[in-house]
Amino acid sequence: MKSFDAIVIGAGQSGPFLAARMVEKGMKVALIERKFLGGTCVNAGCMPTKTLVASARAAHVARNGAVYGVNLQGEIAIDMKVVKARAETVTMNARNGLIGWFAGMDGMTVIYGHARFEGPKTVSVNGETLTAPRIFLNVGARPVIPDLPGINDIDYLTSTSIIHLDTLPRHLAVIGGSYIGLEFAQMYRRFGAEVSVIEHGPKLASREDEDISDAIADVLRSEGIDIHTGASDIAFAKSSDGITVATDSARIDASHVLIATGRKPNTDDLGLDTAGVITDKHGYITVDDRLATNVDGILALGDCNGRGAFTHTSYNDFEIAAANLLDGDDRKVSSRILAYALYIDPPLGRVGMTEKQARASGRKIMISTRPMSRVGRANERGETKGFMKVIADAETRKILGAAILGIEGDEVIHGIIDAMNAGTTYPALQWSVPIHPTVSELIPTLLGDLKPV
């Protein structure tokens, strides 16, 4: 049996950085990864997909160049092999950077293999048994495949496999109208495929307020994407030239099908029951406000704990764990103000409460909205789709949440994120003097228009 000061299972966006901090403190750490360093973000998520989004935007800008007085001759051609290779290069550069970083780190032992608990302080991997007083789980999540009629009879794509396509689908049917599905839908439409989005629920991006969801749908429809919400009785069948996707109200002749119906944690094959670690009904590891499980010495970080589903929340889990365990701090998950983005174009930047959540909280609230068509920078760039929205507490004057669906919305939202984390009241932020011409300069104007509801 090999002994370590700590064992980290999974090399996503929490585990490796925590392992590195512990090594810096002179600890002996084993980092176990069954596949690739970097987790979903590096290998099948943020980095490759946003690289693909960038290629799709380049095609969109070129295709619409005449609007800006830039005339290109002939049709815009997409070389999907180059598109794929570019995304793979970004992934490999990041992955190899991690490999090189850990290789030069004394005290770090990287083991590739499938770890399973043998007890609360021991795990087995590749026929060896390892033990440590502290074990950290950062095993991530994977796509959910729903049990729909005919799904096992077709060759479907997931968010992991679609990034390896080097040919353009004739017609991509996206099953699921949430964040992952919508990004791929717009991306492949811009590459030149016909695209249909099929969503069981009544609206796209169901987490958002209805006005945001409607605006997202308008953006996608304006680019020629067919959207089918409220779809039921979804079924699949092979056809002579592809796949037939049938619902209660539509029949789609697709060449490819992307299943984007959510994700589930990679916790079903770790032997958690052997260690006594409790999970909820969805398989997420139950943790307290400091990320500790019910078993002393075992913590769960990142997507597998159900307390966040983003790279930045996973990294923040590392920050919380490191601060508490290594720096004598007392940080909590409940102190985190959730923020995220939807990377369609224009992007959606979101922080804090939705209007629906704020109304349900019983607070006296104030709301302000402003269309992007009234933002100078958006007009100058010729990108006026979407709008800004902010919700504030009428009594405390604190900002409760905001949504910016529009040009650079994923960056502009950070002014509000920072204000919320600093506890700044909206009147104070209203008196800031932003740079002109920017999209951010409209934040004080937006706040100045707050009105009670």
Q: Shortest CA distance to 422 belongs to which of 395, 399, 403?
A: 399
Question: Cα 97–103–109 angle (5° rounding)?
Answer: 125
Catalytic residues: 436
The alpha carbon of residue 195 and the mean position of all alpha carbons in its chain are separated, in whole angstroms, by 21
- Determine the Cα–Cα distance for residues 172 and 351; give it in Å rounded to an integer: 31
Q: Are 181 and 258 a contacting pair, CB within 8 Å?
A: yes
Q: Shortest CA distance to 111 belongs to which of 121, 93, 124?
A: 124
Question: Cα 138–162–220 angle (5° rounding)?
Answer: 105
State the Cα torsion 394-399-405-409 to the nearest 10°.
Answer: 150
- Determine the Cα–Cα distance for residues 281 and 267; give it in Å rounded to an integer: 12
Burial class of residue 219, CB neighbours in 10 A (0-12, 13-18, 19+): buried
The contacts of residue 345 (CB under 8 Å, 6+ apart) are: 53, 56, 57, 60, 186, 219
State the Cα torsion 391-341-413-345 to the nearest 10°.
Answer: -110
Q: Shortest CA distance to 420 belongs to which of 450, 400, 446?
A: 400
> What DSSP assignment string belongs to 259-323?
E-S-EEES-TTS-HHHHT--B-TTSPBP--TTSB-SSTTEEE-GGGGTS--SHHHHHHHHHHHHH
Sign of the alpha-carbon dihedral angle for 232, 237, 240, 243: positive
Give me the helix-helix angle, 179-191 and 46-63, nearest 10°: 40
Pairing outcome for strands 6-9 and 226-228: unpaired
Place of tokens 């990864």: 33
Place of tokens 């589903």: 309
With H, G, I as helix, E, B as strand and everything else as coil, classify residue 50.
helix
Burial of 232-258, coded b for 16+ CB within 10 Å and e otherwise, reads eebebeeeeebbbbbbeeeebbbbbbb
